Amino acid sequence: MKVYLGCLAPHVGPPRPDQMCLVWREVAREQDPLRVIEYTCECEDTVHELCREAGLAYICRITRLDGVVQSVHETYRWRFKEAQDVWIALLKGEAR
């Protein structure tokens, strides 16, 4: 997990050869920040957020260009523990 000087949040790790591919569904809306539990560093154009909703959790991926949101994708909903495992895998470069 790389961390630049001045960065307060983690970054998504470099891809590993055995990484699992997540299903990302495109959604129109932006995330309600109240649902965000963890997030990756905003120094990169793509920000991932671990979100909670009604006892379940999912990961949201926001792609930006020059600070303007280009697209928002979400994974399926999982139980919180499962979503947390996927979140950790994402940070380690084991999932994408």
> Considering only residues 20, 37, 43, 69, which one is a binding residue for Zn ion as defined by CB under 5 A?
43
Q: Minimum distance between the CB of residue 45 and Zn ion, rounded to whole angstroms?
A: 11
* Among 65, 45, 52, 59, CA closest to 96: 59
Closer residue to Zn ion in complex, CB, 4/29: 4
In whole angstroms, what is the distance from residue 51 CA to residue 74 CA?
Answer: 10
Q: Is 1 near Zn ion (CB under 5 A)?
A: no
Q: Is 13 near Zn ion (CB under 5 A)?
A: no
Chain residues that interact with Zn ion, rule: CB under 5 A: 4, 7, 41, 43
